[in-house]
Structure 1
């Protein structure tokens, strides 16, 4: 772990600042939108635009990097994010905000692609698993820290928009000034979606449903808090609870993942998420402690489920096909993510704040039912036949998933050469 920190501290520091800025601006917009009188549906469009831009950026960033290089792409996109964030309080119109969020999603995706490819360049076969763990840790800690900053100033003012703008602006300083050379960039030719579905129906359908759950959670939790009448401090804690849950539950589920049928674990984790959504739906904002428990459970399983679904998909792929599957998995998840805020916002517009938890409960129910059905369709691979679990979250790009796939490939090949029962 110290070896990874020594070689990649500048990258991780820059990524931490990026995540703090991204976490703050997303929650801040949810609160500020309610202050400006935007409806739940208008805010859902604003939040969905981010995921639309993110999906487009993850597809286009590799081409941009191939044309002009990592440094120029990183600098240009981070500068664009900084400029757009500071314009939100100037143009308080939901449709202009949606355009701004579209741009921010595109730019953040490109920035993450660039940073993740740099991070991959610093990793070796021996440190790739530790690098992924640190990357996920930095992401989640940054998102939690961003929520804490929500209470340092009045969300109806200008200061809270300046903070993420400054954080994003200075985030690329440690990365660009580090001695780490810019890596060569290449991505695997993607597997078609039909091939991916045939290899792992649960992995493909699960990614689509999980994308909807996560984007509703990430994009609309602050909107829910504002619509439900929570204070700014309560909204900050509520949104943080989703990511604290992810931080606490990610690694225990990863440990279980390598020791049991992953389909059963996916089913069980989805059931826990459904229970959390039902808890929030039943109690609402009337009991803040239970609301935090609901957020903790939902966030605690929605993040690890992303890694579980990738690991489950890998169980039915040959090592040479794993990298090709990464782009398809991220694309499917991104398609679901675009719809999550729209569905949640539309339902909140009809039934009130409870529509937030109702949306999450509905899609977790579908995931539970589909996972249960898939357990009856073919036998589970043995523990010896399964690949390694690599921690990831739904905020990563195809580059990070390819890193995880490379880690799974290295582990699989190593196990083939040195079977566990070998003398």
Structure 2
């Protein structure tokens, strides 16, 4: 395995710096927007712009790669990302931030695709799954590290923006100096929602619910923490605990879903997630020290159910699918997740406007309980589309990735073999 990592070590180092800077920005931007006088709805809309930019980047980046190649595309996107970050404190207007957040969503999705296609080009049938797991884990760990950097400055000055820009600029260096072989070409993203719907209604609905919930979280959770009097340290720990919960629970829940009906696993995950959301709504009124360990523990379990929902839905969508359908289905699922994420934040902001900061988790709880009811009735009226013999093995995946990540799945190696034949 070490021999397989040596050729991509510079790429993984670049990915680490990129994700630390990006993780810092995910925490910083909602708080900075609120400090600049944006309403919760405006903060949510800037988050929506980010997710729309992410989807646009997934669709447009393959065209850039065909024109100038991977290294130049990486340098252009990372440099653009750094420049956009430095403009944020200079342009504290709502419409300016809408455009800027769209641009960073576009840039980060393009950077994901470049890194993922590069990794895929250096993978083979023996190490493809391991490389995908390392990449997924690295993304989550680096985002958590970036969230902790929020404690080094104030959202009201430019220090943290500059730090994020520096980290992302450093990410350009290892990739630019690499001697690794040229990556495989990235294919245009194929979107076929009808195929996903044909394979699993629940998977597509789950991707929508997952997007609504996680989109609201990434855009508004820092505002929830701020309005509940979390200090900077508590805010960083709170957000990192959510991501850590998703990382820790994904593989165990995935393995459980391999052994049982995935719909049942999704149903109980939604039920537990809605219960934990209810805790976030109620506990601040009864626990005076909620901003400390109670919030951290609750966030860990909320992340364990909500941040893993998409991965189980993706596995369910691919059950009974042929290998040549895998990337197409996964790309459609990711686009669905991105589009629904852009809607989740504004909807959650309406809830927050009605009942206060706790409205964020009231909204996520309502989405999850609705998904629980849908799965419950669907499970009673339809037989499972897959049994233990036809199920695909669960693979770890994160919503902090692009469509090219799915080409690293070992199951896609079948396609290459068939093409050679």
TM interval, shorter chain, is: over 0.9
Q: Aligned in 2, Cα 1:229/1:274: closer, same or farther, shift over 3 Å?
A: same
When normalised by structure 2's length, the TM-score is 0.93
1:339-378 matches, within 5 Å, as 339-376=343-380, 377-378=382-383
What does 1:132-147 correspond to in 2, within 5 Å? Answer: 132-147=132-147
Relative distance call for 1:261 and 1:240 in structure 2 (3 A) is: same
The size of the alignment, in residue pairs, is: 412
In the other structure, the counterpart of 1:417 is none
TM-superposed CA distance for 1:14, in Å, is 1.0
Q: Distance in 2 between the 1:386 and 1:281 partners?
A: 38
User: Residue 89 of structure 1 aligns to a residue in which SS?
Assistant: helix
CA distance in 2, matches of 1:114, 1:100: 21
Residue 410 of structure 1 deviates from its aligned partner by 4.7
Q: Specify the alignment match of 1:398 in structure 2.
A: 403
Match of 2:309 in 1: 305
Tell me the residue number matched to 2:411: 408
Q: How does 1:77-116 map to 2 (within 5 A)?
A: 77-116=77-116
Match of 1:227 in 2: 227
**Cα 1:146–1:125 shift into 2, 3 Å:** same
The match for 2:52 is 52
1:317 pairs with 321, 328, 335, which one? 321
Distance (Å, rounded) in 2 between the aligned partners of 1:302 and 1:11: 30
User: Is the contact made by 2:117 and 2:186 (CA closer than 8 Å) also made in structure 1?
Assistant: no
Q: Say if 2:209 is the partner of 1:206.
A: no
Maintained 8 Å contact 1:326/1:402? no
The residue aligned with 1:326 is 330
Tell me if structure 2 keeps the 8 A contact 1:54–1:109.
yes
* In 2: Cα distance, 1:122 partner to 1:345 partner: 43
Task: Look up the match of 2:190.
Answer: 190
* Alpha-carbon offset, residue 388 of structure 1: 1.2
Say if 1:204 and 1:329, in contact at 8 Å, map to a contact too: yes
What residue in structure 1 maps to residue 164 of structure 2? 164
**Residues 276 and 293, structure 1, Cα contact 8 Å, conserved in 2:** no
CA distance in 1 between partners of 2:86 and 2:189 (Å): 38
Residue 382 of structure 1 corresponds to which residue in structure 2? 387
CA offsets 1:380-412 (integer angstroms, 9 cap, x no match)? 5222211111111112111112323xx234589
**Equivalent residue number for residue 293 of structure 1:** 297
Moved segments of 4+, more than 6 Å: 411-414
SS in 2 for 1:390: coil
Q: TM-score, normalised by structure 1?
A: 0.92
For structure 1, the 5+ residue unaligned runs are 415-423
Over aligned residues, Cα RMSD in angstroms?
A: 2.0
Query: Do the aligned residues in 2 keep the contact of 1:307 with 1:391 (CA within 8 Å)?
Result: yes
Is 2:35 the counterpart of 1:35?
yes
Instruction: Give CA deviations for 1:252-301 in whole Å, capped at 9, x if unaligned.
Output: 11222322211111112222211221111111374223222222122122
Gaps of 5+ in 2: none
Give how far 1:167 is off.
0.5
Greater Cα shift, 238-247 or 6-15: 6-15
3-state DSSP class of the match of 2:43?
Answer: helix
